[in-house]
Amino acid sequence: MKIINALIVDGTGAQPRSGEVIVEGESITAVEPPGTVPPDAADVIDAGGRVVCPGFIDAHSHADNAPVLAEDDLSKISQGVTTEIVGNCGSSLAPIRAGDDASFAQGPGRLFGIEPGGWHSSAEWFAAIDAAGSVTNVCPLVGHGTLRQAVIGPTAAVPTEDDLAAMGDLLDEALAAGAFGLSTGLIYPPGRYADTAEVIALARRLPADRVYASHIRNESAGLLDAIDEAVRIGREAGCRVQVSHLKAAGRANWGLVEPALERLDAARASGLPVTQDQYPYIASSTGLTSSLSGWLLDAGPAEALRRLRDPDALERLRAEADPNYDRIMISSTRSHAYEGRRIPELADELGLDPLQTVVRILLEEELHVTTVLFTMSEDDVATVLRSPYTAIGSDGLPPGLGGTPHPRLYGTFPRVLGEYVRRRKIIDLAEAVRRMTSLPAAIFGVPGRGTLARGAVADLVCLDPDVVDHEGSYSDPDVPPVGIGWVMQRGRVVIKDGVWGGSRHGLRLTPA
């Protein structure tokens, strides 16, 4: 196949250049100047002067469950994403201890909204991905919260030496089976109950080229201490560090991303391979339980539900609660009640105060509630995007939860190109494409992808840089991107003008 009339953006950060791309089988075999392909050649795709670039790599996805859903998850491929790094924020779908499926599903597995079935070890889970197939390529991390659940359960218990060794053995098994690294979610139970030494002990098991990716312990007033902890873990464990979805949440903390980036720059200058990722929005999205004090879940989800009915516990939650309920929108619930609505509005309707409203919803939905939180500043989003070490990651919550998910699930990559490149000119097109391709490929060790060059796998996107955008909103997120012409995986066009070809052509990848 010959792609002619292309404006090639090769993913390295080099400026766009006109050219032709020759694809044979699954690989790029040549990148040529314009006019090389004879006019009468067969099997030609005319890019019409539009950009042709490497398929995007979503540096931070939670679509772990996509392969085992009956429905094809098109949320990422429609954006031009051909590879997703999953298993983030401490939550992966394996390993699960035999007999622990139900507790896992209510604990670290709650995020995914599915009942695990048929797998326990990482190798079994990876085999399940391979058997089910996937729309995008999948690069799995193993989650520390999942490891902790498998060995010591959902509580705040301190691991014994034996527990720590058992968690390490499960991590070794996951790495041997093809995991790309270890993730932590140090605000989420049960990962949040780990001290720094526990994480270092596990991260030491990582080979130097595998990544430790962290949803760090604090993204608000304690941001800088949390950055320091991530850097310390990388130094003492001798591994690469990825700070997930770097941000400063809460008006009082806006601007803290600047000293945070300075600390990351200093760590890099001293030799630590550390980078970060970001989604291009001022709202975040997570479980509603994260809006309440961390001790609520320290004895597991069943005890948390009991505590939510206990007047004394409620008084303690009230004393510690963040009063900014108007920043919380419910995005999905198990029953699909309350979706798309903000807490104060629901409180009025229910005749309750805001905390009572939160508690009512958590009890009714047995904690299965996700939210969108309006907490960041546009200036900070731009500051983080300007760092050349910021990769783009959607942080989209798992597909299939329904409701009104954060629009990042459907629009992260087109939005960077439309809003932050074309309209606001925060970074240029070639640099934005680099952050979506070769940078995450290098961070995570994604094999054969991330640059448009001879010998690379032909995962490609054709897009119109003057049009590409996502017009989804917080109230109406699930709209298709515009300006994505076609998406190719391994030499096969799988989406053309927004129409999906219908077969899962992604692969589970193993580290380069």
The minimum distance between CB 437 and Zn ion, in angstroms, equals 22
β-strand partners of 91:
none
What distances in angstroms separate CA 177 from CA 122, 174, 358, 508, 511, one per listed residue? 7, 5, 41, 11, 10
Q: Which is nearer to Zn ion, 81 or 89 (CB)?
A: 89
What distances in angstroms separate CA 432 from CA 14, 183, 385, one per listed residue? 11, 25, 9
Q: Which is nearer to Zn ion, 215 or 508 (CB)?
A: 215
Q: Which is nearer to Zn ion, 60 or 307 (CB)?
A: 60
Residues 357-416 that bind Zn ion (CB under 5 A): none
By CB under 5 A, tell whether 215 contacts Zn ion: yes
Stretch that binds Zn ion, among 21-29, 84-92, 138-146, 365-373 (CB under 5 A): 84-92
Residue whose C-alpha is closest to residue 498's, from 459, 468, 457, 466: 468
Q: Which is nearer to Zn ion, 89 or 139 (CB)?
A: 89
The minimum distance between CB 242 and Zn ion, in angstroms, equals 12
Question: What sign has the CA pseudo-torsion 154, 157, 162, 165?
Answer: positive
The minimum distance between CB 173 and Zn ion, in angstroms, equals 24
By CB under 5 A, tell whether 144 contacts Zn ion: no
The Cα–Cα gap between 134 and 138 comes to 7
Enter the DSSP assignment of 351. T
Residue type (1 letter), 80: G
The minimum distance between CB 280 and Zn ion, in angstroms, equals 16
The minimum distance between CB 121 and Zn ion, in angstroms, equals 25
Burial of 179 (0-12, 13-18, 19+ CB in 10 A): buried
* Residue 335, both tokens: 């029953």
Q: Which is nearer to Zn ion, 59 or 426 (CB)?
A: 59
Neighbours of 69 (CB within 10 A): 16
The minimum distance between CB 245 and Zn ion, in angstroms, equals 6
Stretch that binds Zn ion, among 214-222, 384-392, 479-487, 488-496 (CB under 5 A): 214-222
The minimum distance between CB 24 and Zn ion, in angstroms, equals 40
Stretch that binds Zn ion, among 86-94, 99-107, 418-426, 473-481 (CB under 5 A): 86-94
Cβ neighbours of residue 392 closer than 8 Å, sequence gap 6 or more: 56, 58, 59, 277, 278, 279, 280, 412, 413, 416, 432, 435, 436, 440
Helical ranges in 107-180 per DSSP H: 122-132, 144-152, 161-177
CB of 371 closer than 8 Å to CB of 329: yes
Residue whose C-alpha is closest to residue 170's, from 276, 68, 96: 96
The minimum distance between CB 244 and Zn ion, in angstroms, equals 5
Stretch that binds Zn ion, among 143-151, 211-219, 319-327, 348-356 (CB under 5 A): 211-219
End-to-end CA gap in the chain: 26
What distances in angstroms separate CA 416 from CA 136, 420, 471, 472, one per listed residue? 20, 5, 12, 13
Q: Which is nearer to Zn ion, 285 or 357 (CB)?
A: 285
Stretch that binds Zn ion, among 125-133, 209-217, 224-232, 270-278 (CB under 5 A): 209-217
Q: Which is nearer to Zn ion, 10 or 64 (CB)?
A: 64
Stretch that binds Zn ion, among 87-95, 257-265, 476-484, 487-495 (CB under 5 A): 87-95
By CB under 5 A, tell whether 89 contacts Zn ion: yes
β-strand partners of 469:
482
Stretch that binds Zn ion, among 171-179, 207-215, 307-315, 368-376 (CB under 5 A): 207-215
Q: Which is nearer to Zn ion, 89 or 462 (CB)?
A: 89
Q: Which is nearer to Zn ion, 234 or 393 (CB)?
A: 393
Question: What does the angle CA 229 – CA 231 – CA 236 come to, to the nearest 5 degrees?
Answer: 95
By CB under 5 A, tell whether 216 contacts Zn ion: no
The minimum distance between CB 92 and Zn ion, in angstroms, equals 13
**Residue found under tokens 């510690």:** 320
Residues 419-478 that bind Zn ion (CB under 5 A): none
Q: Which is nearer to Zn ion, 329 or 346 (CB)?
A: 329
By CB under 5 A, tell whether 296 contacts Zn ion: no
The minimum distance between CB 187 and Zn ion, in angstroms, equals 8
Residues that bind Zn ion in the complex, under the rule CB under 5 A:
89, 215
